[in-house]
A and B are shown apart, each in its own frame.
Chain A
């Protein structure tokens, strides 16, 4: 179980980080979501993995630590609110930048004409 759990956390985190380094806001938002899934699972595992354990001492053979579960619950709620906010923000960014969802607002052009550069200078 530990191995499967670790692989899942690793895969989620790795793909989350990879997506966050993309240049478009949509992959970045998906990346943030996957990263927060990975982190939540990791936080959950900090109370040790056990099956059949109950978070109340004496009610079962083994007990499991209730605190990480409480922490994960808080982290999920906060992460969810933040994801909702970042979705709205990236939609706003899309609308503000003429339907360009590049994280910098516009695609940096390699061979821009002098006129474009002037415009860029005026914007910064």
Chain B
């Protein structure tokens, strides 16, 4: 039992409840408290990362019930990595939001913190049904955040997003019911033990349940047939929300990694590597679709939204190999793409504010204000997401390319990823040169003022790609350890036999 594990859940929960009651408090007070909550959460996440780096599993059993009977939180390297990634992204999004986005709704900070609460529960939980609850918590907060802002443009994409996710929740529940009806447990460690022992006649039921889980996680992660809601929803959300949503697709990817290496991993007997043969072609098609979308994007926000889909395809291609090298490459790329895409959403919003009525559309317009600063940020973001040296995207994509082993995998992955990156490069160069270089006569009336909180948070997120390059050694070491820990599932199932408080002697 380690009580630190509850910190990333309790901190945003208490902070969010405070915010809910403080709707009419002075905005300076609300902002200070909200930022303090996010900073505290980041500190807690870093403490957990340091704790988790010794490679052992830490357990928090609610009500001191011995698993598999109670709900447990489990901390391992993967969970800690996701917590830190989310907390860093959230802090900068939050700082950006203080620049003015939070003024249009009294409950912005509360929703923001509840969203973080849901994300943190999803990363820490060791129980399949609790994962469903976490998804619902983060989704209902995200519905509110997505609607946040002035104007009516968000209603229709928001409606699509909500209906689609409600349908997804229904499928999740059906899958959970199917798996429970056969195995009689929903604790992930217990499932990992029970799934290989499932009787022959019950196998199809569990298999169907597992595949339905893959569909649900694929919906959250925006894999191809389920990805068309994303560009509309993300590009209409306000900038800090869209940037925070960069981590939302990664929750789906986290769930795929967790469930399909632990429960349906290599040791799952008849059901080993369930769905993974589907995942690889789907990932490559998703990647291609994202590139086509990016080429056709009419605005910077749409371009970045399609970049989210490109990165999902790239990540899942690496994960679908089911090897330590593939997973560790994916984790390295995950850090890079989440932060940089988040930063690019913020940059697109800054560009929007400097261009008057042209907004962030990729059209010729009068010369934008603060051109040097914004174009450098955009260039860095583009280089990092396309994967050109010297920024982190290059190393991440290199690791992914190297993780392909069999000949057909190499041929498919290398050709799709490299050609895709080339066309992404074209999309970014086209957007950048039209927006920043091709000017027409005229001047912008009243460009938005670049306050420190706006420019610092956007540039900080983008420059994290430089930090990743500098710290590439420790980060890739951590990613490799994480992948090794993930693929050695016997240690995870040991948490079932850990003594509870009061039994430790």
Interface positions of B from 141 to 179, Cβ below 8 Å from A: 143, 147, 152, 155-156, 158-160, 162-163, 166-167, 169-170, 173-174, 176-178
Q: Does more than half of chain B's interface fall in helix, strand or loop, or is it mixed?
A: helix
Query: Which residues from chain B contact A46 at a C-beta distance below 8 Å?
Result: 177-178, 180-181
| A96 close to B (CB within 8 Å) | yes
Contact A105 B163 (CB under 8 A): no
| A30 close to B (CB within 8 Å) | no
Give B172-207 as 1s and 0s: 1 = Cβ < 8 Å from A's Cβ atoms.
011011101100101000000000000000000000
- Shortest Cβ distance from B165 into A: residue: A82
| B129 close to A (CB within 8 Å) | yes
- Shortest Cβ distance from A33 into B: residue: B166
How many whole Å from A21's CB to the nearest CB in chain B?
10
Given contacts A32-B163, A78-B136, A86-B162, contact A42 B174 (CB under 8 A): yes
| B475 close to A (CB within 8 Å) | no
Query: Which residues from chain B contact A14 at a C-beta distance below 8 Å?
Result: none
CA distance A81 to B177 in the complex (A): 21
- Chain B interface residue bracket vs A: 20 to 34
Of B129, B158, B163, which one neighbours A71 at CB under 8 angstroms?
A: B129
How many whole Å from A91's CB to the nearest CB in chain B?
10
Contact A82 B163 (CB under 8 A): no
Query: Which residues from chain B contact A39 at a C-beta distance below 8 Å?
Result: 170, 173-174, 177
Give A38-65 as 1s and 0s: 1 = Cβ < 8 Å from B's Cβ atoms.
1110110111100000000000000001
Q: How many chain A residues touch B (Cβ–Cβ < 8 Å)?
A: 37
CA distance A104 to B169 in the complex (A): 22
Of B140, B152, B186, which one neighbours A82 at CB under 8 angstroms?
A: B140
How many whole Å from B171's CB to the nearest CB in chain A?
8
Interface positions of A from 56 to 88, Cβ below 8 Å from B: 65, 67-68, 71, 74-75, 78-79, 81-82, 85-86
CA distance A85 to B143 in the complex (A): 9
Contact A90 B159 (CB under 8 A): yes
CA distance A38 to B173 in the complex (A): 11
Given A35-B167, A43-B176, A46-B177: 19 more A-B contacts, CB < 8 Å: A20-B167, A38-B170, A39-B177, A48-B181, A71-B177, A71-B180, A82-B166, A89-B143, A89-B158, A89-B159, A90-B159, A92-B147, A92-B155, A93-B155, A93-B156, A97-B152, A103-B156, A103-B163, A104-B156
Top 8 closest A-B pairs, CB basis?
A46-B181, A96-B152, A46-B177, A105-B156, A43-B177, A96-B155, A93-B155, A39-B170
